[in-house]
Chains A and B, each alone.
Chain A
């Protein structure tokens, strides 16, 4: 490779890296100081770009837009922080995640309402269009401008954080919030300022990137995962880490295209996973206090003692469910089948999340492995469905064993990011492995033959036949999960959730228990996936993408993560609400997003959790702090 080429590739990496840096540094700053993982950070990037587009149309001037748009985004961010985030700071991380998720939906639909569905483009400012000669080769001026601006912002940020009084306060709050408050710092105001600054950076990134790219409604989703990778690799909450991480990922993108053209995305996630395993705090991250403080519950809000009445409820529910095909028209039977499958997926996820206190953000991997395995066995190898589905679940369990081995020593955000990284690697493999997985098109024409098993004959090709088949498997699986959770093993898991340290202290091998929970969870997610393949008669790589991993998180929180059937209820409500809304309006995201935000603000225990509280008169008692659940390890705090 010639040196001139090398240099230009390096500049390309820097250009992309600087855009990433602007988004990621805001993300990192907000996490470092506020302890909030702002999933909606990509929307600031998107808003910045759209506002700049609007400004240029109004005033015809790029520079004015560059000045104003990020400020407007900052104002929006400040409003978001004051109105929505303040009430949830004391809540566990997953609620903040759900809230920011709701904000993504709302903002995306608002952008769609205001600017429409087309592509938009911002012209290069005239002074910066065209290219200049570097070592005899042309290179775009605008890219150099981005590099310079990014470096300038990075330098100013450093000055601000290191050399100003307010910057010192910000760092002080990042390092110890309570202490900062005790010293008389106006922490709430500081939080707002930091959040506004973070949004400003994201908005600036959007404006600067906009001449290079098209503006479209998926901008926010495209940038956020890579920004997470930057933040994780560099070190969560670490400013120099964000610089290093962005430059590293930018260069990987640039040179990866040359040396590992088809797998450079997977490579980024591999790097992310390695960093998280070897050095969880990131390359330049400092040791941090756990965000919630030691000994606090890590799961989702209020803990409820599971009551022995639950199996009876389950039995009645199963009976009611088995009569559905007689009562409902076919589409609703299909919707019920899908709900059952997703209910199992969400419940298996919740074994880890609600009961073990581990937020997996990569459960699409096990769902997808189950789906692909069952799909291949059914279609290409002619296996019977009673064999194909258990094999699918077993392979998912195997994958969970391998991946879980690396993950279970991490906590909270690190665990979430590590599981996400592994799932994205698998997604990339599935996408490119044409010969086996069908590549981007996936598998289709998955047969659903008539099943003969133990003297029973069931026509799985029919809508109701497959419904009953699903109902049996899902009920059975849920019953097993229930038994697992009631066993001493399950109680130990809940003990670990409440306090891993105490768990270790009384002799529970935390990592081993978590791994076991991970494998069980993966197996049942795989089972759900293995049912999903013949239900849809096709599997596409989408099933393994991170957006699929978000579904069980949403469902569990919606239904209530501390009630056994909460995720199942959440799955039903989620599908049903979405189905109703989208039949009436194209702006279903706005409604769903608003619903999620209201839910987080007013019903912290989820729908089923709320119902549980109403029935048991525990409403006042359980709000906020959380009771510790039953079991040998539990105690009231």
Chain B
């Protein structure tokens, strides 16, 4: 394929030809700044990590923490002598939560900047778009945030890795935890896009399995992503009188929902389980407004758990570096970079195919968890915590997740046959 040639052509591209090219097209005066940045992805020199995150747009709070995790990982690695003795560099790009921007930034990082690996992506629409380009770019992408299952199922490419639990695992673990609760009548309030629906489907599927007497109400609420007004959704659900509601809302949507629901005394009547809704971004924003008794996985990591030396060290270093507690996505982005490091060290090279092979089946130790990258779908299998909100006076937000228990990763992972079946069909 000529795409191969294009990429090889890039590797042998000298600065002089590039300057000539610019002069030839009359872009010399404008393109000057690029010349220095245009370095090749060779087997020597620094290893380059291209970061992609939503630094503006709808989910920029999550882009910010992606950047924190990535920067801290790179700093830690360099302090410890780099990867294979090579220094690590990074470049952060803003995808604006728009797929077309994400595509352009991925192309720029891979082809122009010469990234050895791409790390990032918060928004699932951007993830789907960038994954579609990976075979063309022949660059590894490690996703630490976007958790829509399809990118490792039907849209799988050999270059796609996800080093955090996906929404299927996170939701399934919720079902195991909710099994022991008295609530029988369940419904959902979730954002009306793929992540919301897939999260709910996985939760309902597993809850039905482990708690056959549960019922799903017909009345469900699917506000559009980014809605400001939840009052009517709240009334609609209250009118249906469920025991509990599953809530795949997250970020700004979750804040809007919680603030309005509290005013309607919603949580006095209905229990709530939210997979990603209660992560540190919301604790910082809402503080004590968050009522006690809400269940959440915090998207797969809550910084107080597990209470091990290793995790405590990570948290205190993180707080020292950034002045705030690590968000799940900061932790997971940190992990994504570390996973790449392990992959390269195992492969003894940055050669893409060799690193892909090395990362398949790789065991990673995160500050909090041990996890395995499943060979066939490149999806990390890791334990999933669920806990419940309780008041505390030890933390600045006054509320935290308590009674956290991990559900074993192998129990909640989507069975391999199912994944491969989906891929066949997709």
Contact = CB atoms under 8 A, between A and B. Distances in A.
A445 B256 CA distance: 35
A338 B21 CA distance: 19
A329 B125 contact: no
A216 interface: yes
Interface in A377-433: 431-432
B12 to A, nearest CB: 11
A238 B338 CA distance: 60
Given A140-B263, A330-B111, A217 B21 contact: no
B192 interface: yes
B37 A583 contact: yes
Contacts of B6: 330, 333, 462-464
B21 A327 contact: yes
A329 B18 contact: yes
A257 interface: yes
B103 interface: yes
Interface size range on A against B: 35 or more
A258 interface: yes
Contacts of A265: 224
A580 B30 contact: yes
A445 B228 CA distance: 34
B57 A583 contact: no
B285 A536 contact: no
B64 A116 contact: yes
A262 B222 contact: yes
B319 to A, nearest CB: 16
Nearest to A542: B99
B359 to A, nearest CB: 22
A328 B260 CA distance: 54
Given A8-B235, A12-B232, A440-B193, A123 B289 contact: yes
Contacts, number: 242
Contact of A118 (B93, B192, B225, B284): B284
Given A329-B21, A536-B100, A580-B33, A121 B150 contact: no
B184 interface: no
A12 B231 contact: yes
B294 interface: no
Contacts of B64: 116-118
Given A119-B282, A440-B194, A444-B131, A112 B2 contact: no
Given A108-B56, A459-B2, A538-B132, A330 B99 contact: no
Interface in A315-329: 320, 323-324, 327-329
B132 A445 contact: yes
A329 B155 contact: no
Contacts of B3: 461-463
Contact of A12 (B92, B235, B286): B235
A223 B256 CA distance: 14
A142 interface: yes
Contact of B255 (A16, A108, A121): A121
Interface in A323-359: 323-324, 327-335, 338
A547 B97 CA distance: 12
A395 B108 CA distance: 33
A153 B309 CA distance: 58
A254 B92 CA distance: 41
Nearest to A217: B60
A118 B229 CA distance: 20
Interface in A182-240: 209, 211-214, 216-218, 222-223
A547 B96 CA distance: 12
Interface stretch (A85-93, A124-132, A159-167, A282-290): A124-132
A12 B227 CA distance: 14
B30 A576 contact: yes
A216 B286 CA distance: 13
B285 A214 contact: yes
Task: Tell which of A116, A214, A334 has the most Cβ of chain B within 10 Å.
Answer: A214
Contacts of B231: 12, 15-16, 140, 143, 254
A121 B286 contact: yes
A216 to B, nearest CB: 5
Contacts of A583: 33, 37, 93, 108
Contact of B232 (A257, A465, A547, A580): A257
Contacts of A255: 232
B412 interface: no
Interface in B220-238: 221-226, 228-229, 231-233, 235-236
A130 B284 contact: no
B7 A330 contact: yes
B2 A464 contact: yes
Contacts of A223: 228
Nearest to A118: B61
B213 to A, nearest CB: 27
A626 interface: no
Interface in A1-38: 5, 8-9, 12-13, 15-16
B136 A537 contact: yes
B350 interface: no
B264 A327 contact: no
B424 to A, nearest CB: 14
B264 A138 contact: yes
A213 B255 contact: yes
Nearest to A336: B25
B263 A130 contact: yes
Contacts of A439: 193-194
A420 B426 CA distance: 34
Interface string B261-300: 0011100000000000000011011100100000000000
Contact of A327 (B24, B98, B99, B100): B24
A16 B233 CA distance: 13
A262 B279 CA distance: 28
Given A16-B231, A217-B56, A330-B111, A444 B2 contact: no
Interface of B: 1-3, 5-7, 9-10, 13, 18, 20-21, 24-25, 30, 33, 37-38, 55-58, 60-61, 63-64, 92-94, 98-100, 103-105, 107-108, 111-112, 124-125, 128-129, 131-133, 136, 148, 150, 155, 192-194, 221-226, 228-229, 231-233, 235-236, 239, 251-252, 255-256, 259-260, 263-265, 281-282, 284-286, 289, 426
For the complex of A and B, list the 10 residue pairs with the smallest distance between their C-beta atoms, beginning with the closest. A462-B2, A140-B263, A440-B193, A214-B255, A331-B112, A327-B21, A331-B111, A538-B132, A12-B231, A444-B132
Given A462-B6, A579-B108, 15 more contacts: A12-B229, A12-B235, A117-B64, A138-B265, A141-B263, A258-B232, A463-B3, A465-B2, A536-B132, A537-B132, A538-B133, A540-B99, A547-B98, A580-B30, A582-B94
12 contacts: A112-B56, A121-B286, A140-B263, A216-B58, A218-B57, A265-B224, A444-B155, A446-B132, A464-B6, A536-B132, A537-B136, A541-B125
